[in-house]
Amino acid sequence: MYYTTWKSAESACNLCYVGFGGILEDGTQDWTKCQNVNILGYEFSTNMKEAVDNWNITTNHWLRKVVYNRVPKQKVICTFLVSALWHGFFLHYYYFFIFTSLMIHIGRKVCFLTYYYFLFNLSRVVKFSVRTF
């Protein structure tokens, strides 16, 4: 449902040249200015941060500028709480956004703790990627 709506709106913006972001350094045209979902990036994301970054993209950019960059501590949880407030006062929004922020926090910690274990060993990286796909 969301894919169809967002891609239809993106197509309408691109027809009116609202979605044109300019010419990139390699000479190709950038039509992602009004992109709100990256379907392949979302469906094949390997962690919660990638999923969040590829879903509701324009809102994420706005939340990053308005909340995340201005909050001194607990940036992720504050950003998700503002997003929950924006969606309304339904308890399931708060459960979802708090759970998502916790998963991002845990994912960052696990990545930090296991980074050097996988750093110079390609076979470990391949095995990990295959097992966690």
Run of H or E including 22 = strand 22-23
Reported as type and span, the H/E element at residue 28 is none
Per the annotation, the verdict on 56 as an active-site residue is yes
Q: Which of 14, 38, 56, 60 is catalytic?
A: 56
3-state SS, residue 23: strand
Which 3 state secondary structure label does DSSP give 19?
A: coil
Q: Are 79 and 63 in contact (CB under 8 A)?
A: yes
Q: Which of 61, 69, 87, 121 is catalytic?
A: 87
Q: How far apart are CA 78 and CA 33, in angstroms?
A: 26
- Helix then strand then coil, in percent of the chain rounded to 5, is 65, 5, 30
- Concerning whether 87 is annotated as a catalytic residue, the answer is yes
Catalytic site residues?
56, 87
